[in-house]
């Protein structure tokens, strides 16, 4: 696929609000127009999954591929043993080589839905590499003589990630983390030489490391071709100043073991009006025309939340697939309507993962069963028996989606999947009882 048949990568990133800094934009535009190029971005295996903050980087690689180029995802199996000090106020706890390797193997699976590694789309194939393969072979003396001599300590201590730790923190920075930028810069040199990678991508907090890599290529290849570039995007923030990618239950992860497809869908569905258009541009592949149409609808009819629904559908489909997206959407509708009886056991668990839950003995449901009036007080779904009578009397309590009366008793026949009875008071207050 020729570059002429595709949208310019830089143009695409610009209208999506994802072009923050570029080492030489005009020269890079000419370079990208000249044929299939290679760009890389690195991923730090500090956990066995990545978060939606990392998804910005994966989406950038995908846009690069969609523009007719070949992206390279670099797993930090080597640099992960050191730890990137960027954005950190204290020294990282070093991980074992076994932990880093295990994290890398789990993280790699995230990329398959977003990047094309087979070339089946007709675009240049994406590649995945692990920097332990070359950093692990690098000798200490070799690193000092051939790489370290090109770095000025005066320059290194001016980097934000180092300066802040030196002057604003009590703990300072170790030589280990101080050396991180040398290793990341060498990654670019290695990929430039061995794979013809000419562009490094990253968030704005990586600008110093990226520029360091471009400079090292120039210094280590003074007589040869040394054209290299760097592009960054702004870090994602929320309009209200809150931390992006965090909920009451914790971070939003990119693997279902950490964040279920339902919870992932709900995160995007709950995006604020002030954020939704920006998130559509950053986290979906919807076209400019589609996003502008959704932006218009959000302005004229914000209550319909059509932009949020489009964001939730598209973002979930990209990461988890269309089937999981439809299930998550159906589960959300069931929870809203109260009609939860048709949900599978697994989906029911996902839907009520953060709901108040009480464990009870199943034998209590046998015979005459348990009076709902008393149970509401027992599980603290209401403050008192008087309040329970009031809610039951005005029809604002449901059991498994069915309206409950003041004299209702719960029996084994009320169990969903043989173990769960879900009680709702009003429109939003759910309480899950699990009977074992």
pLDDT in tens, 64-103: 999 999 999 999 999 988 877 766 656 667 889 999 999 9
Confidence band (pLDDT; 50, 70, 90) for 224?
A: low
Question: Which is more confident, 353 or 380?
Answer: 380
Whether 3-233 shares its CATH topology with 246-351 is answered: no
Residue 428: predicted pLDDT: 83
pLDDT beyond 90 at 312: yes
Ordered by start, the domain boundaries in the chain are 3-233, 246-351, 357-435
CATH T-level fold of 246-351: Tyrosyl-Transfer RNA Synthetase (1.10.240)
Residue 163: predicted pLDDT: 75
> From edge to edge, which strands make up the β-sheet containing 229-233?
21-22, 229-233, 197-203, 38-43, 70-75, 127-130
Exposed (0-12), middle (13-18) or buried (19+): which is 262, by Cβ within 10 Å?
A: buried
**Options 3.40.50.150, 3.40.50.300, 2.60.120.280, 3.40.50.620; which CATH number does 3-233 get?**
3.40.50.620
pLDDT beyond 50 at 4: no
CA 366 to chain centre: 46
**Options 3.30.1180.10, 3.10.290.10, 3.40.50.720, 3.40.50.300; which CATH number does 357-435 get?**
3.10.290.10
Residue 342: predicted pLDDT: 87
Q: What is the mean pLDDT of residues 166-184?
A: 77
Tell me the average pLDDT of the chain: 90
For β-strands 429-435 and 127-130, DSSP reports them as: unpaired
Residue 169: predicted pLDDT: 57
Tens digit of each residue's pLDDT (9 = 90 or more) over 7-41: 699 999 999 999 999 999 999 999 999 999 999 99
For β-strands 429-435 and 357-360, DSSP reports them as: parallel
CB 45 within 8 A of CB 107: yes
Residue with tokens 């100043």: 241
Q: What is the mean pLDDT of residues 314-325?
A: 96
Tens digit of each residue's pLDDT (9 = 90 or more) over 326-376: 999 999 988 888 888 888 898 898 888 888 999 999 999 998 899 999 999
How many whole angstroms separate alpha carbon 424 and alpha carbon 138? 61
pTM of the model: 0.87
Residue 88: predicted pLDDT: 61
Q: What is the mean pLDDT of residues 237-253?
A: 84
Tokens of 88: 């950190």
Residue 171: predicted pLDDT: 65
pLDDT beyond 50 at 5: no
């Amino acid at each position: 696929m020729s570059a002429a048949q595709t949208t310019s990568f830089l143009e695409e990133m610009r209208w999506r609000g994802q072009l923050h800094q570029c080492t030489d934009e005009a020269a890079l535009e000419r370079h990208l127009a000249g044929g299939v190029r290679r760009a890389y971005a690195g991923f730090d295996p500090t956990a066995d999954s990545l978060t939606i903050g990392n998804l910005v980087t994966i989406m950038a690689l995908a846009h690069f591929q969609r523009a007719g180029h070949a992206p390279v995802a670099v797993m930090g199996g080597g640099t992960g043993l050191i730890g990137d000090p960027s954005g950190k106020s204290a020294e990282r706890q070093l991980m074992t080589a076994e932990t880093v390797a295990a994290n890398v193997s789990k993280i790699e699976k995230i990329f398959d839905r977003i990047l094309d590694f087979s070339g089946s789309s007709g675009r240049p194939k994406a590649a995945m590499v692990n920097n332990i393969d070359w950093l692990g072979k690098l000798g200490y003396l070799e690193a000092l003589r051939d790489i370290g001599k090109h770095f000025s300590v005066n320059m290194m201590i001016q980097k934000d990630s180092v300066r802040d730790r030196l002057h604003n923190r009590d703990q300072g920075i170790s030589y280990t983390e101080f050396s991180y930028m040398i290793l990341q810069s060498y990654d670019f040199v290695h990929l430039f030489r061995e794979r013809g990678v000419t562009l490094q991508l990253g968030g704005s907090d990586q600008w110093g490391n990226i520029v360091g890599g471009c400079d090292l290529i120039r210094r280590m290849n003074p007589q040869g071709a040394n054209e290299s570039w760097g592009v960054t995007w702004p870090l994602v923030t929320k309009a209200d100043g809150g931390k992006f990618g965090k909920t009451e239950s914790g971070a939003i992860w990119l693997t279902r073991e950490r964040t279920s497809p339902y919870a992932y869908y709900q995160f995007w569905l709950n995006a604020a009006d002030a954020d939704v258009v920006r998130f559509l541009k950053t986290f979906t592949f919807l076209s400019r025309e589609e996003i502008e149409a959704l932006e218009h609808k959000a302005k004229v009819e914000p209550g319909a939340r059509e932009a949020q629904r489009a964001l939730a559908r598209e973002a979930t489909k990209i990461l988890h697939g269309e089937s999981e997206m439809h299930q998550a959407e159906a589960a959300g509708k069931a929870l809203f309507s109260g009609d939860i009886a048709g949900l599978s056991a697994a989906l029911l668990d996902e839907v009520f993962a953060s709901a108040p839950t009480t464990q009870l003995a199943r034998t209590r449901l046998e015979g005459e069963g348990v009076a709902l009036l008393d149970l509401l007080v027992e599980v603290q779904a209401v403050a008192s028996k008087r309040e329970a009578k009031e809610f039951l009397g005005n029809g604002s309590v449901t059991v498994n989606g069915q309206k409950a009366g003041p004299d209702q008793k719960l029996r084994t026949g009320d169990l969903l999947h043989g173990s769960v009875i879900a009680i709702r008071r009003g429109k939003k207050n759910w309480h899950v009882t699990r009977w074992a």
